[in-house]
Amino acid sequence: MDNPLSLGQRIREIRMKKGVTQVDLAMGLCTPSMISQIESNRAKPSFKVLTGVAQRLEIPIERLLSDINLDLEYISQYKIAIGLVRAKEYKAAIPLLQDLLNCSHHQIRNSEIHLELASCHLELGDIAEAILHLNEVHEWANLRQDHELQATTLHRLGIAYHKKNEPTLALFHTKRALEELGKAPEVSPTLRAKVLTHLASIYEAIGKVAEATTFYEEALALNQESIEECGTAFLRMAETFHKAKSFVKAEEYATRASVILDELNSIGHRQDCKHRLILLKSKQGDWKKSVSDLLQLAETFEAAAKKEKAGAVYTDIALICEEYGEFEEAWAYAEKARLTLPDLHPSMGNVHQVLAKVHLNQSDAEKGEKHLRNAIMIFKQHGKLSELEEVTRYYCQHLMAKGEHNAAFDRMEKLQSFMRQTLEQRGIML
């Protein structure tokens, strides 16, 4: 049996019954975003805001607070855990969340804790554990007809099955997430954008480029830019206050961190979405325009000191130039990416692949084959099977052209064996 309503959940329940929107409730008190944060238990209202909310909902403040557990220690612990999740420190967040799940002396809903634990396990690659937590949340949300929570859960189930390389199930759950959003009376544009983006990425993975482009464009139209700030310092202050048992201060700084890190995630989501959309359009129209758009995106990443993201964009520019026979430009951007990225970064496989084709085009077989071997090694290390297959087949064609038939046959055999073993480890039997 789940826990009683929290303060935020009670405000949302009363607001919905009275037909008041978050925008109307926030007017003159705070921002609609803050109301959303309060209702989802990611922010605690000040006394002034709480009084204003009660007046606007035409109820005594005592009704909001009756039977509500305001145990600041547990709330503080939960906020810190959420902050750690937003800061991508998943291993540190799991014990805090698991401790709350095992404790019955707080008013935080188990469904919310399960959802955050699922996010952590998803990011750490423990897909089976993530699916267990998500199924718990889905059952709870379905029972209460909470469409937004159902959408969130189905979206993450879609991500889980996508990571398991099961596109049919990933598409099924993600489409259902979009359907549930259509039933919800109020929908976060950020959540809808994330669902649309994931739907686009699945269509892209299965080769349906037109559908993918449509969903990427719809997602971009929904996203809103936020001011980029760093929430990590607030999170560290929250942890310090929590250890000192100054729970009011800990909760305050954890809330600030959560809000800011949510904004940072939205910025990153928008930029990644824009990146994928440009790449898709490069295959459909003016590739030179796509290169120009990618260069602007790379400059944005460099200005924000996001060197690895900039390097990944330069890699994509090199791939486009190589595909259209612009070998000199392909070489220049591949070298720029190589100077930006760590040696074993996943994108370095593509960098070596481009450099290999440039050198082989210039009849420099020794350098070309060296880059091909490096590309194969990096794709293997990161489990990028489609890229590995493509570069290995290219290498084998090169060897066959040289008359080295046995070497080519041996490489293909090794490729098939590696792919079979990898897919079996992912639970896919050939």
Q: At 380, which CATH number?
A: 1.25.40.10
More confident residue, 349 or 211: 349
Within a domain: 390: yes
**Residue 134 — very low, low, confident or very high, per pLDDT cuts 50/70/90?**
very high
- Is 328 within the bounds of a domain? yes
What residues contact residue 213 under an 8 Å CB cut-off, 6+ apart?
200, 277, 280, 281, 284
**Residue that wins the pLDDT comparison between 3 and 186:** 186
- 126 has pLDDT over 60: yes
227 vs 320: CA distance, rounded Å: 32
- 180-188 long-range contacts, CB within 8 A, separation 24+: 180/147, 180/148, 180/150, 180/151, 180/154, 181/147, 181/148, 181/151, 183/147, 184/147, 184/148, 184/151, 185/16, 186/21, 186/22, 186/148, 187/148, 187/151, 188/36, 188/148
Rounded to whole angstroms, the Cα distance separating 398 from 232 reads: 50
pLDDT at 227 over 50: no
- Rg for the chain (alpha carbons), in Å? 25
Q: Give 78's contacts (C-beta < 8 A, 6+ positions apart).
A: 41, 96, 97, 100, 106, 108, 113
Mean pLDDT over 22-38 rounds to 87
| Of 178 and 245, the one with more pLDDT | 178
Residue 408 belongs to some domain of the structure: yes
pLDDT at 210 over 50: yes
pLDDT band at 254 (very low <50, low <70, confident <90, very high): low
In a domain, 388, yes or no: yes
Does 372 reside within a domain? yes
Band the pLDDT of 430: cuts 50, 70, 90.
very low
In the numeric block, the tokens 């686009």 are attached to: 200
Portion of the chain with pLDDT greater than 90, in percent:
33
How many separate domains does the chain show? Answer: 1
Q: Can you read off the two tokens belonging to residue 22? A: 């978050």
Render pLDDT for 41-68 as a digit per residue (tens, 0 to 9). Answer: 777 777 678 888 888 998 887 677 665 5
Asked if pLDDT for residue 122 goes beyond 80, the answer is yes
- Can you give the pLDDT at residue 246? 65
Residue at 201 is within a domain: no
Task: Give CA torsion, residues 141, 160, 194, 119, to 10 deg.
Answer: 70
* Residue 398: pLDDT over 50: yes
Task: Out of 202-206, 295-299, 324-328, pick the least confident.
Answer: 202-206
Domain membership of residue 295 (yes or no) is yes
Q: Which of 113, 145, 279 is nearest to 209 (CA)?
A: 279
Q: Confirm whether 262 is domain-assigned.
A: no
For 141, counting Cβ atoms within 10 Å of its Cβ (0-12 exposed, 13-18 middle, 19+ buried), the class is buried
| Mean per-residue pLDDT, 386-400 | 91
192: amino acid identity, one letter: R
**Which pLDDT tens digit goes with each residue over 157-198?**
999 999 888 999 999 999 999 999 999 877 667 788 889 888
Residue 276 has pLDDT above 60, yes or no: yes
Chain-wide mean pLDDT for the chain?
82
- Lowest mean pLDDT: which of 94-103, 312-321, 340-349, 417-426? 417-426
Does the pLDDT of residue 88 top 60, yes or no?
yes
- Find the domain containing 398 and state its range: 286-425
- Joined together, the tokens standing for residue 416 give 């098939």
> Which comes out higher in pLDDT, residue 239 or 17?
17
Give the whole-angstrom CA distance, residue 416 versus residue 169. 25
| pLDDT higher than 50, residue 226 | no
| pLDDT above 80 (res 377) | yes
